Amino acid sequence: MPASTPSTHPDELARVEQLLEHFEQLEAQFEMVRESLTHSHRLATLGTIATIIAHEYNNILTPIVSYAQLALADPDDHATVRKALEKSLSGAERAAKISASLLGFAREADEHHVARLCGVIDEAIGCMARDPAKDGLEVEVDVPDALAAISPLNLQQVLLNLLLNAKNAMRRGGGRITVSARVEGGMIHLDVADTGPGIAPEIIDRLFEPFVTHRSDPAADRKGTGLGLCICRDLVRAAGGSISVESKPGQGATFHIRLPVADELFETT
């Protein structure tokens, strides 16, 4: 006779079901914490650039006020009045672009799962507010009009974090930031490179771990939460991609982002 299969006690089944339910609850709580941390990091990033934004708005408003005062002092001077209107329009458009980028970056969630590469990069650069050339920085962008299978908001957060890190690394001597991409084998190969001081060899393998400071310059500021690159890694991985870094001290750093290509078109709101 075949050996009988031992029966599972009802109490054991109940304990297993409770354990599974507990794991599901933990997973849901972990996801909530992860999303909250990601949003908190976006707000912390906005706080980091708040001074830059305020200074840039002041640069926008100063010529508007000056030309408006000149125009009011002599309203019959049509050339000055026209110049005042042109300055007002140009400044308002610049301020509106910065505000739109920042408001989009600060929103709670993003329902889209497809990002148009060119548009997201423009918005990330717009969030920097200040013209990089004023800090001796050159920004080069060479990307195709491709669609990536990732939330536009998440991709913007990744790019802005990398751009701000590169800017901070080169704040003393200036340099160049290059954002380039190509589509190959169903993946978007997106690179963000800088000509800064590079990354110390002893930490490069731990760079995407929490609380690891990453620039080899010992005098560099240690501002922020230390979670930026860790969150970037999680956002890219959640989209089915990967992120890595290549660097040598004194020779800059290049972050390589790989994201799946998306087929669907979408409309941004």
- Whether residue 96 is found in the same domain as residue 157: no
Please report whether residue 146 resides in a domain. yes
> How far apart are the C-alpha atoms of 219 and 256, rounded to whole Å?
26
- Whether residue 250 is found in the same domain as residue 126: yes
Please report whether residue 246 resides in a domain. yes
- Whether residue 166 is found in the same domain as residue 256: yes
Please report whether residue 38 resides in a domain. no
Please report whether residue 28 resides in a domain. no
Question: In sequence order, what are the residues at sequence separation of 6 or more whose Cβ sits closer than 8 angstroms to the Cβ of residue 206?
Answer: 212
List beta partners, residue 247: 253
220: pLDDT strictly greater than 60? no
- Whether residue 234 is found in the same domain as residue 138: yes
Please say which residue of 66, 101, 136 terminates a domain.
101
Angle, helix 152-169 to helix 117-127, in steps of 10 degrees: 50
Question: Any idea what the Cα angle at residue 10 is, between residues 7 and 12, rounded to 5°?
Answer: 90
For 240, the 3-state DSSP assignment is coil
Q: What is the pLDDT of residue 266?
A: 44
- Whether residue 141 is found in the same domain as residue 254: yes
Average pLDDT on 75-94 reads 86
- Whether residue 63 is found in the same domain as residue 195: no
194: enclosing H helix or E strand: strand 187-194
159: pLDDT strictly greater than 90? yes
Please say which residue of 67, 101, 135 terminates a domain.
101
Q: DSSP alpha helices (H): ranges in the chain?
A: 10-48, 50-73, 78-106, 117-127, 152-169, 228-238
Please report whether residue 220 resides in a domain. yes
Please report whether residue 238 resides in a domain. yes
Greater pLDDT, 180 or 130: 180
- Whether residue 65 is found in the same domain as residue 119: no
According to DSSP, the β-strands at 253-260 and 175-184 are unpaired
Please say which residue of 74, 101, 128 terminates a domain.
101
Please report whether residue 140 resides in a domain. yes
- Whether residue 97 is found in the same domain as residue 117: no
Average pLDDT on 151-173 reads 88
Average pLDDT on 99-104 reads 70
> How far apart are the C-alpha atoms of 257 and 163, rounded to whole Å?
13
- Whether residue 177 is found in the same domain as residue 237: yes
Tokens representing 251 are: 């020779």
- Total structural domains in the chain? 2
Q: pLDDT (tens digit, 9 = 90+) per residue, 123-148?
A: 888 888 788 888 889 999 999 999 99
> How far apart are the C-alpha atoms of 228 and 45, rounded to whole Å?
9
- Whether residue 149 is found in the same domain as residue 248: yes
26: pLDDT strictly greater than 70? no
Average pLDDT on 66-87 reads 87
Greater pLDDT, 93 or 236: 236
Full domain range(s) for residue 221: 113-260
Question: In sequence order, what are the residues at sequence separation of 6 or more whose Cβ sits closer than 8 angstroms to the Cβ of residue 113?
Answer: 149, 150, 151, 262
Query: Which of the residue ranges 67-76, 118-127, 187-196 has the most confident prediction, judged by mean pLDDT?
Result: 187-196
